[in-house]
Structure 1
Amino acid sequence: MSLSTAARQQYSAMQTNMARTYAVATVTQEFNVEPTHAQSLNDRITLSSAFLQRINVIPVSEIKGEKVMIGVNGTVTGRTNTDHKDREPRHALGLDDEGYELYETHSDVTLKFSTIDAWAKFKDFAKRYSAAVQRQIGLDRIMIGWHGVEAKADTDREANPLLQDVNKGWLQIVREQAPQQILTEGKVPGKIQIGGSGDYANLDAAVFDVSLMIDEEFRDGGDLVAIIGRDLLAHDKGKLYAAQGQTPTEKERIEMAQVVATYGGLPSYTCPHFPSKGIVVTSFDNLSIYFQGSSWRRYLLENPKRSRTEDYNSRNEGYVVEQLGKFAAIEAGNVEFVPGKATKPEEDAA
């Protein structure tokens, strides 16, 4: 099968426009994306996800090095009687000894000729295609951030459908560098039980306990949030339905998500690919993805032997938790629900 005339025109126009954008003679040979263009491409990927827009996605020049973002881990204000001694500035920047490391990362996409033929009727074919690829790269970045445990030289998507072998994500970094910041069990070894007579009567209590694992100097900064898995939120909402769902006004409030806007005293969020029974307390700007601006390479290949086009993207990329003491979590795989009678919110808070 070959491309139809209309599809050929659309695809060729996309190649020409892409070559013009990246200031190269052709995109059918591998080319280096200039750092300024790499930043623009990265910005478009970031804009494809509300979560990526909240965290740091920033370029660095080296594959390995010290963390880039600077946080302050204590007070800096006071007074010195300079008649008796010199003013002594306090070293308060939150840089630790743990740096970052980037790994070569491939995001390769193929399109069947038949798909391009079907899309050829759209005048904005190139825009649609680019948006779809950028959105998926963005979602993959988030998935790796929450599920990545290692960076294998040869990844296996079938064995690791959550991209666990592409890179070390935020949770894995904390497991290795600050294991005390992740709760792994409660009263029962290897388990964290929520509900009934478990470790926590409800989700609110669990989040509050996790928030106490944050180093004290970060607790009152006003920027902490609770990122909560969908199963935990659904379970909590289910309890509210059981307790109040028969009352029309209360049911409407639950439907409108107006009953609980916070958990453990913190604003709550969820995001794509977050562990379904997970809890993370941190600030958004404590989570980072670094990429080497000079490392992005790309080329487009037409492969008639397989009746498809191929779009190869590669760059060096890695994940960083800027301040380890400002991150606390539970081990989502160890969480289980314990049956118990449904309680009203005011009873839960008692």
Structure 2
Amino acid sequence: MAQPLSANGAKKYAELQTAIAESYGVAVASQQFTVEPSIAQELNDAITAKADFLEKINVVPVTEITGEKVFIGVNGPVTGRTNTKTTDREAKDASALENSQYVLASTESDVGLPYAKIDAWAKFPDFKDRYSAAVQKRIAQDRIVVGFHGTHAALQTDLAAFPKLQDVNKGWLQQLREKAPHQVVAVGEAGDTVLLGAGGDYANLDGLVHDAKQLIDEILREDGDLIAIIGSDLLAADKAKLYTKQGDTPTEKERIESAQVIATYGGLPAYSVPNFPVNAVVVTSFDNLSIYFQDSSWRKQTVDNPKRSRVEDYNSRNEGYVVEQMEKMALIENVELVPKEPVE
């Protein structure tokens, strides 16, 4: 039989409900309420702070469900000279005219925390902060998962069928596949995957990242802010080579483990991002990736559900993923490592 909240846990939870109601300016937190736009911004700032990657990209409030992208970049030169004796100066429209719209979708992030966890946290004076951090961190990680794995926005999502939240929304990679397929490589010369290693399509990650960079528009390729996001399996394989060569030296081993040995691939700063596909490489800039949310759409409710022996925190808003400039992003995916020859 499920155990109810302990007396101290129930007391702390009641205090939490009161604090939430006061923070959001509502009578009670157990009934669904609309979060004011200014407070919604603070809530999103707190969520963003729970993931290093989200702090590097744009998480932007907008007023409409559909509209023009916020950070449409300049995709061509604007500098020149005009002989004003004969010709009027003319401002150049260097923004990308295609793929300039965003679309948001209703998104729910409902977090259940078991009574046992609430009871365990009740003894700490920072109970409210621990509770908020747990909810916010899960929302932050889910946002990243959808951004890299989302393929469509289903009327009703199915976590069992799509464990990587593929049906929550169209993420950055899927939008690139659909709107700029010529900037996506998923099939290598050796077969139905891109092979990495001796005898494969690419001998090493440097060559692979270099080729990915060449898929980006020539005007944007040398902006100086491009980075490479590299899947953990590909990085792990490269680190394994370093361990083999230098891992017996304590100082070198420490540098390898702290990811300080190879800071660049193909001339670009390299990053490992949680929940990024393990066998893919993306070249873009951090500020080219955005998450938009409608600032007036956030709804929230916190309830005690004894039927499930847990506290439930319901959050919903209209949200979407945006590649600000499609021309400034390239993807090589389905990368497989060349099998090692058996040691005789």
Shift in Å, 1:104: 0.8
- Please state whether the residue corresponding to 1:27 is helix, strand or coil: coil
| Code of the aligned partner of 1:147 | H
Matches of 1:3 and 1:258 in 2, distance apart? 46
Structure 1 spans left out of the alignment, 5+ residues: 342-350
Amino acid at match of 1:146: F
One-letter amino acid of the structure 2 residue matched with residue 238 of structure 1: A
Partner of 1:3: 5
Check whether the contact 1:67–1:95 (CA below 8 A) recurs between aligned residues: no
- In structure 1, C-alpha distance between the alignment counterparts of 2:105 and 2:262, rounded to whole Å: 40
Which of 77, 80, 90 lines up with 1:78 in the alignment? 80
* Structure 1 match to 2:55: 53
* 1:147–1:256 distance in 2 versus 1, CA, 3 Å: closer
Q: CA deviation at 1:239?
A: 1.9
Aligned pair count reads 339
Asked if 2 retains the 8 angstrom alpha-carbon contact of 1:195 and 1:340, the reply is: no
Q: Does 1:294 align with 2:296?
A: yes
Q: Tell me the percent identity.
A: 60
Match of 2:17 among 10, 15, 18: 15
CA–CA distance in 2 between the matches of 1:14 and 1:95? Answer: 48
The within-5 A match list for 1:205-284 is 205-245=207-247, 254-255=256-257, 257-284=259-286
Match of 1:304 among 303, 306, 330: 306
Q: Partner of 1:175: helix, strand, or coil? A: helix
1:150-229 paired onto structure 2 within 5 Å: 150-229=152-231
Q: Could you say if the C-alpha distance between residues 76 and 292 of structure 1 is closer, same or farther in structure 2, counting changes exceeding 3 Å?
A: same
Separation in 2, partners of 1:111, 1:254:
37
Give a deviation string over 1:161-208, Cα, whole Å, max 9, x none. Answer: 111111111000111111111101121342101111111111111000
3-state DSSP of counterpart to 1:107: strand
**Letter matched to residue 181 of structure 1:** Q
**Which has the larger displacement, 174-183 or 94-103?**
94-103
Q: Distance in 2 between matches of 1:335 and 1:113?
A: 43
Post-superposition shift, 1:237?
1.6
Going from structure 1 to structure 2, the CA distance change for 1:256 and 1:291 (only over 3 Å counts) comes to closer
**Cα distance, 1:241 vs. partner?**
2.9
- Letter of the 2:136 counterpart: Q
For residue 318 of structure 2, the aligned residue among 292, 296, 316 is: 316
Aligned equivalents of 2:200, 2:212: Cα separation in 1 = 16
Listed one character per residue, the Cα deviations across residues 208-228 of structure 1 (whole Å, up to 9, x for unaligned) are 010100100111111000000
Q: Distance in 1 between matches of 2:317 and 2:93?
A: 35
- Three-state SS of the structure 1 residue aligned to 2:302 is strand
Aligned AA for 1:185?
V
What's the TM-score once normalised by structure 1's chain length?
Answer: 0.92
What SS does the aligned partner of 1:130 have?
helix
Q: TM-score, normalised by structure 2?
A: 0.94
Q: Does the C-alpha gap of structure 1 residues 255 and 319 become closer, same or farther in structure 2, counting only changes over 3 Å?
A: closer
* DSSP-derived class of the 1:90 partner: coil
Contact kept, 8 Å, 2:72 with 2:100, in 1: the verdict is: no
SS across alignment from 1:227? strand
Deviations 1:274-312 (A, max 9, x none): 111110000000000011111100111222233322211
Contact 2:99/2:179 (CA < 8 Å) preserved in 1?
Answer: no
Looking at structure 1, the residues matched to 249 and 308 of structure 2 have their Cα atoms a distance apart, in angstroms, of: 59
**Could you give the per-residue CA deviations for residues 44-97 of structure 1, whole angstroms, max 9, x where no partner exists?**
000111100000000111111221113111111111111121111111123434
- Distance in structure 1 (CA, Å) of the matches to 2:258 and 2:118: 41
Using the alignment, how far apart are the partners of 1:255 and 1:105 within structure 2? 37
Residues 1:328 and 1:97: Cα distance change in structure 2 (over 3 Å): closer
Q: In structure 1, what is the equivalent of residue 336 of structure 2?
A: 336
2:6 equivalent to 1:43: no
Alpha-carbon RMSD across the aligned residues, in angstroms, is 1.7
